[in-house]
Structure 1
Amino acid sequence: MAKKKNITKNDIISFYMDYVLEHNHQPKTVYAFAKVNNFEEQKFYDHFGSFEAVEKHVFTAFYHNTITVLEKSDDYKSFDARNKLLSFYFTFFENLTANRSYVKYALEHHKSDLKSLSLLKDLKRVFTDYIASLEIDLIEIKQEQIDRIQQRGLKETAWFQLLLTLKFWIDDTSPGFEKTDIFIEKSVNTSFDVLNVAPIRTLIDFGKFIFKEKIQMN
């Protein structure tokens, strides 16, 4: 039988996911993996350097698929940061649910320590970049070093929240994962309520006014 010639990155990801779900382990070698799926070994290396690279890419592929869906929505483009993040979460976890067997296979043994899991390193990078792109309103200190610390703290907190949601979803046995949907809505809304800087800014402005008036009176 002639070897398959037009092998894409997504083909290899699909072959890999099917293989590990059928065998419950990684392929022993790239050669054996390519032979089972009837393509030349070199085609694998055109896209990936190892099976570990494939595993990392699976999770960034879920992210990119999510962004592609969202960016096709005119409603999404008009949303504020809170509703954009809610939309991201719901769409991202729909993608995970469509591939739940593989995601559970990949993460089940690491769910108590997801934060240090190298498998999710690339996902963290693209997700925290996404958080930065939302331009979530923070208190302007007008001090570059403190502003950088605030932004870094926001990214790390958002990443930790995504990991918590991932752990919750892995353990969720409710119909249609409805408890995960509730968890997402409550956790994202709570985060934004905590970050709501409008009342704080009002207090700061009021304090400045009092301070200014006091100086003038003296």
Structure 2
Amino acid sequence: MSITLRGLCAALILCATTSQAHAWWWFGKDKSYADTRYPIVLVGGIIAFDDIAGIDYFYGIADDMRDYGAEVYESNVSALQSNEYRGEELIVQIENYLAVTGAEKVNLIAHSQGSPTSRYVAAVRPDLIASVTSVHGENRGTAVADVIRGVVPEGSITEGLANSIGNAFGALWESLSGGPNPGDQSTRDVLAASTTEGLAAFNQRYPQAMPTSACGTSGQHTVNGVRY
């Protein structure tokens, strides 16, 4: 076979393969591929919001999922608070979503601090939750929080000043996003909740499905009816 004929055959094969790959986009995706049994609730992390001035925290993910069959809600819990505090806010919002939809449970997809927040909700109200998915979750604490704690010791004047400044920012942020409790922010509590030590204590209180190592598996993928 000549080099020219070889090249022609290769081009035809490539063209055919590429055409098959793009046919999916040409005819459109399955409009129900993102449909789930229960509604999906997205839960953001520190300084979380649903949208501010048209800027979406989850950057169009919710809208894309809705386009393909999912029923999605974007929660809006406190920007600067502990996991438990934010979890209690989330419970109220979930109950409202269930009242509107008539669904029995929701699926939680959580980012950053939204992950321990969601795990708290699933631990104390498993009747509301079908599943918890953690995306880049703050489940073992963060090195950044550990560094800040080293620079800003607990109970120090520096901590008090940082707490006041952070709380003012959090209140403004929550007001802009229409958050549930704009005036009740706590930079001190979110810092304590985000350190390695703070998350270790949290995981002892709410150990559901937590692996024993960062890249391990707990062996429990369903706890109290909630899939993790």
TM-score by length of 2: 0.28
TM-score by length of 1: 0.29
Higher strand share: 2
Higher helix share: 1
